[in-house]
Every structure is written in C-alpha cells, then in structure tokens.
Amino acid sequence: MSITAISSRSLIAVAGLALSAFASAAATAPSGNYKIDPAHSVAYFEVGHMGGISRFMGRFNDMNGDLVLDAPAKSTIKVEIKTASIDTKHEGLDKHLKSPDFFNAVQFPSLTFNSTAISLNGAGEGTVAGNLSLHGVTKPVTLKLKQIGSGKGMKGETRVGYVATGSVKRTDFGMGYGVPGAATDEVDLRINIEAIKQ
Amino acid sequence: MPDPSFFLPLILQSALIPFGAALAVLAAARALRAGPGAPALAVAAGFLAAYFAILHGQWSLLPKAALDWLPWIALAGLASAPAERIANAAWRLATRLALSVAVGALVVWPAFAGLGLQKAILLAGTAGVLMCAVWTYMARSADSRRTPPWLLALVAGGAALALMLDSSQSIGQLSGALASALVAGVAFNLPRVRMAFSPAAAGTAVLILGALLANAVVYAGFPPGYIALLVGALLVDPLVRTLNRLRSGSEGAGTWALTTVLTALPVGAMVFLAAKAASDAGGY
C-alpha cells in the first residue's frame, strides 16, 4: 500500500467524522426544562464609537434564565441580564455606561428577553422572536438563533448550547444620550447560552 | 485641542441656550414690568430650554426615569413664589421643607426597590433637609445682595465639571445649564441691579441643583464626599458674613471677592478629585 493511498483513506475518514459531528451538533436537543449555566453563558454587545469610527465591545457577566425545549412552537427562552455586571475592561467606561446616560443600572437593574416564537430548521438554525425589556421599555425583537450542540457534562447532566444574534436601536429603548457622537444608535447583540437540563 | 464638533454642542446646549433663554425672560419681564416671580421664571426657563436641548428624545411626560422628573421639579420651583409670600416664618419654612423633601422623594423613588426603605428615606430626607437649609439661607438675602445667585452658579458650575469628568455627562450638562441660567441673572444686573434675584428664584435654583445632585449620588455614583465639599463651599458665605459682622465691617467688593475665592477652594478641590478619579480609572 502506497503512502498516497493511506493518506487518501485517512482524509476520507476524517471528513466522515467531521460530518457526523456536525450532524450531531445540529440534532434536536433533548426536550425538557433547562436552566442557563451562568459560568458558560455571556451576553456581548458591540457598538460604533464616535459616530462609527471604530467598533468596541462589552459584555454582561451576570446572566440567568430558563429554557423549555420541546417542539419549536412549544419551546421558550427566558433570559435575565444584570445591567450592573457590564464589563468593557475599562473601569471608567463601565461607570459611565451604568449611569443614567446609558443603562441607568440603579433604576433598571436588569434587562430581560422573553421569547414568544421560536423557529428552527433541521440544521438547527432559525429565529427567536420575543420581548426585550431594557431601560424601562419593552419592545418586540427578533434574533437569529443557532443551536450549537447538545451533550453530556462531566456529571452526566444534559447540556445544550445556543447563540442568538441581532441588532437593536438604543433610541427605541429611550437610551438616546450621545447618539451618534458618543456611540451609534445601532447596537449588535450576541448572546451565548449554555443550559443544563433540570 | 479637542475636536470642535464634540465640544461646540456641549457649549451650545449647556451654556449658550440656558444663558440666552434666561436673559430673554429677564429682558421681557423688565419691559413688561413683570412681578417678582420673573427671576424664578428666568432660572426655570433657562434650565428647561437646556434640558430639552440635551435630553429631548429621552423625556417622558409621565416620568419613567428619575431624570424625567426634572422639568416638573423646575416647575415646582416656580410654585415656591407663592410659598415665599407666606407671612408666617414658621409656615414658610415648613412649606420649603415639604417641597424640598418631596423633591428628594421624587428623585429617590424610582430606585426604591434597589435601595430599600431605610436607605431611601435616609437619602430623600438628607437631600430634602440640605435643600431646605440652603434655600432658607439664600432666600434671606436673595433680593438685597448679589452673592446668592453668583455662589449658586459657582457651585453648580463646579458640580457640572466634576459630574462630566467622573459621573454622568447628561447630569453634568444639566448642572452647567443651571449655572449658565444663574450667570445670566448676574450679568443682567451689571453694572446696576435691574431685576433683583428673589427668594423664589433662590428656591427654584436650589430645588433644581438639589435634584441634580441627588440624581448624581443615587444613580451615577457621584461620591458623597464631593457633596460634602459642595456643602462646605456653601457654608463659606454665612461664615464670612458672621466674621464681618463681628468686625463690624461693611460688605464691599473685598468681601465679595474673598467669599468667591474661599467658596471656589472646596469646589476646585472637588473638581481636582473628580479629574484624578477619572484619570485613575483610565480616562477615555
């Protein structure tokens, strides 16, 4: 057997393994009630600075919530994020973002998202529509949803992972200070969720 | 050199608009021979014009955020005009205290759930008593001396700088707007008094300033130590007046200059501390 023949078979085997792993990741997660694992879940935001000369990112470190996984029509996602947990790796900016100029974290200590409709295709991709409550204002938003995978944790518990992405306008939520000079109106969101079956 | 596109809107919203609006009200009031409520109206008009220039898109008629109450508080300040005409001194003081505590409560109320009953009462009560004390002192000589609006402007202007450096830019801009409206009143009365600052104007200015600083402490992490320095600055005038009386001296330009310098010291210290805190936090 030539070296070339071995290499070709190995490549086919590796490709086959990769495809089966992808198929497994996209498979429907086991139905049931799940709690968000705060250690492995985080919500990011990205916004244009000074009218959009650059993009800067921040995240919220404190997030919790529940998922009910069933057929998409019966599934729900509830997320609560503590606004005071905002983290831009810059103390001064964090303090300013918590002030009434932006999140007003004392008066509005949490932002929440409650789904109203979920749709996912066979590849685990789709949308989640729901109500986003931020800065004392509740508005319907639709985010792209992707199921990342599901499997067993170290203690045998069932875990699932999702990523939701989308954009909102902060002025829609009464957060209009410094638009667009300090930060652009459009804010991109990315919510990475890992949840544990209860 | 900062980019003009950044600081020109700040100057327009926080200085030129409130200064112009207050000056226009005073000029119109003088032309129409309006009553003693005009200086209070000028302070409120200057502040409100700046408020809507700065936060127009955010304001909610039915207040949602604590800052939404500020236009109503400015209008409540105008209600101090009839209160200042109450003949009985005790009732007048009680009315000032009631209005001041009500303003403190309005500011603290939206944060009640997070603060808890005890802390909320303590904050609203402290803010109310401080506002009432400053208002009462300023009202006593509001229409006979030039110092009350000038000292309030100095304190509000210093607070504006500290707030913008180390707390909330919107509250800082609003504090700067109040200072500009007060300076308009001072400028209008130079070189001779044409429409004196009134007890009601003192009440309006103190209620707005108190509401802004209470907002800053409760919602924007403005350190209480800075408030102590501002209180210290406001204590300079009664101290200088008392010492002057003991010396049987008259209150001339020298006393005014000394009071201004001594008041500026704690205000300047506060601005320095805010600049240092912003620098220590990395600045941005």
pLDDT digits (tens, 9 = 90+) for B193-232: 888 889 999 999 999 999 999 999 999 999 999 999 999 9
B243 part of a folded domain: no
Contact: B65, A181; criterion CB under 8 Å: no
Task: Please report which confidence band the pLDDT of residue B2 belongs to, taking 50, 70 and 90 as the band edges.
Answer: low
Which residues are CB-contacts of B76 (< 8 A; sequence separation ≥ 6)? B99, B102, B103, B207
Give the residue-averaged pLDDT of B46-74. 89
CA distances (Å), origin B145, targets B38, B139, B148, B196:
17, 10, 7, 8
Place of tokens 């199921």: A147
Within 8 A of B169 by CB-CB distance, chain A residues are 96, 101, 177-178, 182
Which residues of chain A have a pLDDT value below 70?
1-28
- How is residue B103 written in tokens? 């303003």
Interface pTM (ipTM) of the complex?
0.84
The burial of B79, by beta-carbon neighbours within 10 Å (0-12 exposed, 13-18 middle, 19 or more buried), is given as middle
CA distance linking residue B13 with residue B246, whole number of Å: 44
Say if residues A186 and A173 touch (Cβ distance below 8 Å): no
Q: Which of B171, B219, B283 sits opposite A107 (nearest CB)?
A: B219
| Structure confidence at residue B177 (pLDDT) | 98
- Total number of domains constituting chain B: 1
Q: Give the number of beta-carbon pairs within 8 Å between A and B.
A: 77
Which DSSP symbol is given to A196?
E
To 5 degrees, how large is the angle CA A69–CA A72–CA A76?
A: 50
Q: Euclidean distance between the first and final Cα of chain B, in Å?
A: 15
* Gap from B156 CA to chain A (nearest CA, Å): 19
Q: 3-state SS of B59-113?
A: CCCCCCCHHHHHHHHHHHHHCHHHHHCCCCHHHHHHHHHHHHHHHHHHHHHHHHH
pLDDT in tens, A24-49: 444 568 899 999 999 999 999 999 98
State the sign of the Cα–Cα–Cα–Cα dihedral A58, A63, A68, A70.
positive
Do the beta carbons of residue B266 and residue B154 sit within 8 Å?
no
Subunit contact A96:B169, Cβ cutoff 8 A: yes
Written as one string, the DSSP assignment of A88-136 is -S-HHHHHHHHSTTTT-TTTS-EEEEEEEEEEE-TTSEEEEEEEEEETT
Q: Is residue B279 part of a domain?
A: no
Give residue B156's pLDDT band: very low, low, confident or very high (50, 70, 90).
very high
- Contact between B229 and B270 under an 8 Å Cβ cutoff? The reply is yes
The span from the CA of B107 to the CA of B210, in Å, is 10
Q: How many CB atoms lie within 10 A of CB A148?
A: 15
Predicted TM-score of the model (pTM): 0.87
- A95: closest chain B residue by CA: B167
Rounded to whole angstroms, the Cα distance separating A72 from A121 reads 9
B135 pLDDT exceeds 50? yes
Q: Does a structural domain hold residue B257? A: no
Hey, how many other C-beta atoms are within 10 angstroms of the C-beta on B163? 27
Q: Rg of chain B over CA atoms, in angstroms?
A: 18
Contacts of B65 in chain A (CB under 8 A): 100, 104, 107, 135-136, 174
Identify the CA nearest to A109 among candidates A133, A78, A138.
Answer: A133
> How much is the mean pLDDT over chain B?
91
Domain span holding position B102: 4-223
| Residue B41 in contact with partner chain A when CB distance is under 8 A | no
How many angstroms separate the CA atoms of A4 and B205, rounded?
87
Q: Using the predicted structure, report yes or no on whether residue B142 has a pLDDT greater than 90.
A: no
Residue B261 structure tokens: 């310098």
Is 80 exceeded by the pLDDT of residue B261?
Answer: yes
Q: Cβ of A91 and B67 within 8 Å?
A: no
CB A162 within 8 Å of CB A148: yes
| pLDDT above 70: residue B65 | yes
- pLDDT at position B186 over 80: yes
Are A107 and B220 a contacting pair at CB < 8 A? no
Please tell me the predicted confidence (pLDDT) of residue A73. Answer: 83
Q: What pLDDT shows up at residue A5?
A: 44
The minimum CA-CA distance between B49 and chain A, rounded to whole Å, is 16
